[in-house]
Amino acid sequence: MSDHYEHGPGWTFLTNHARVLLAIARDPGVRLRDVAALCGLTERTVQAIVSDLEEAGYLTRSRAEDARRNHYTIAADTPYRHPAEAGHAIAGLLRLLAGPETGVGASPDKTSRRA
């Protein structure tokens, strides 16, 4: 974590759910233990967040080819849940913050689906 975060205000712009989703977008084979360390959360909290995201349709979990790890696939065309962002898919956020090299978020930023 940066020095500013440790000494700055008690809030951040991104939720823990967004932070976990971005970590997975950057590395779809990441271990949840590593996501927890990266996000400054407990592993149990990250597991709950991944379950939330999976249940809401933002990602799917499957077994990686090595059969030892999970692999996550993000549904970038899924719209935001809050009415203030209605009509926008998470693809734009993923492109902006996870980076284009992740291959996630290639779909248009608008969608007709509603949360």
Q: What is the pLDDT of residues 67-99, one digit of tens each?
A: 888 999 999 999 999 999 989 999 999 999 988
The crossing angle, in degrees rounded to 10, of helices 32-39 and 43-55 is: 110
Q: Are 57 and 74 in contact (CB under 8 A)?
A: no
What is the distance between the alpha carbons of residues 111 and 87, in angstroms, rounded to a whole number?
5
Work out the pLDDT band at 107, boundaries 50, 70, 90.
Answer: very low
Which whole-number Å values give the CA distances from 14 to 40, 52, 66, in the listed order? Answer: 13, 16, 33
Q: In terms of residue numbers, what domain contains 88?
A: 13-102
Using alpha carbons, select from 105, 102, 107 the residue that is nearest to residue 30.
Answer: 102
Q: Has residue 65 been placed in a domain?
A: yes
Q: Has residue 112 been placed in a domain?
A: no
Work out the end-to-end distance of the chain between its first and last CA atoms, rounded to an integer number of angstroms.
32
Q: Has residue 109 been placed in a domain?
A: no
Q: Has residue 113 been placed in a domain?
A: no
User: How confident is the model over 29-52, as a mean pLDDT?
Assistant: 97
Q: Has residue 71 been placed in a domain?
A: yes
